[in-house]
């Protein structure tokens, strides 16, 4: 079972782990669809790291702090949108500098997963560029490995 699944540090370490995996797979052109997919999930964890914890204030003035995306999505599960759309909205609001890259990376990833798995190096390089921009926006100033408690 995963440890500290909702923690901020877990999101950062998960993003970094996924990045190592896609860099390993990137050596073989037969797996560019997986490079793209894992680059997206690395970016997903980076933006979760950047956005949370998040305090949301309702129109009535009541506020609630969400420590993780999972906490946020459980709290807002009746808003009528799925988790990926929910995160897209959060990225647009709280990370507008990389919203375009995140959207593009999600679209490339979904094509790789659900439409066609055959991609050339140019598309996987674009996915890696988007992931890198997101990483650079979200990474903390000190980049050494952060241990989970």
- The model's pLDDT over 4-43, given as tens digits with 9 standing for 90+, comes to 445 789 999 999 999 999 999 999 999 999 999 999 999 9
65 pLDDT more than 70? yes
Distance CA(68)–CA(5), nearest Å, equals 9
Inter-CA distances, 132 with 23, 25, 38, 65, 112, Å? 12, 16, 13, 29, 19
pTM of the model: 0.88
Exposure string of 128-147, with b = 16+ CB inside 10 Å and e = fewer, is bebbebbbebbeeeeeeeee
- The model's pLDDT over 87-137, given as tens digits with 9 standing for 90+, comes to 999 999 999 999 999 999 999 999 998 888 888 899 999 999 999 999 999
Q: So where are the chain's domains? A: 8-138
CA dihedral 120, 126, 132, 137 (to 10 degrees): -160
| Average pLDDT over the chain, rounded to an integer | 90
Look up residue 139 and give its two tokens: 């990474």
């Amino acid at each position: 079972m995963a440890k500290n699944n909702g923690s901020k540090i877990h999101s950062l370490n998960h993003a970094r782990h996924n990045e190592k995996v896609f860099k390993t797979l990137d050596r073989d052109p037969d797996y560019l669809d997986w490079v793209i997919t894992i680059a997206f999930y690395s970016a997903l964890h980076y933006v979760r790291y950047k956005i949370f914890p998040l305090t949301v204030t309702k129109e009535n003035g009541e506020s609630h702090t969400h420590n993780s995306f999972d906490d946020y999505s459980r709290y807002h599960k009746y808003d009528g949108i799925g988790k990926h759309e929910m995160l897209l909205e959060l990225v647009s609001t709280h990370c507008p500098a990389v919203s375009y890259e995140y959207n593009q990376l999600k679209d490339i990833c979904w094509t790789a997963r659900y439409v066609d798995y055959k991609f050339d190096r140019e598309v996987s390089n674009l996915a890696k560029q988007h992931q890198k921009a997101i990483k650079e926006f979200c990474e903390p100033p000190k980049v050494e490995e952060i241990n989970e408690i």
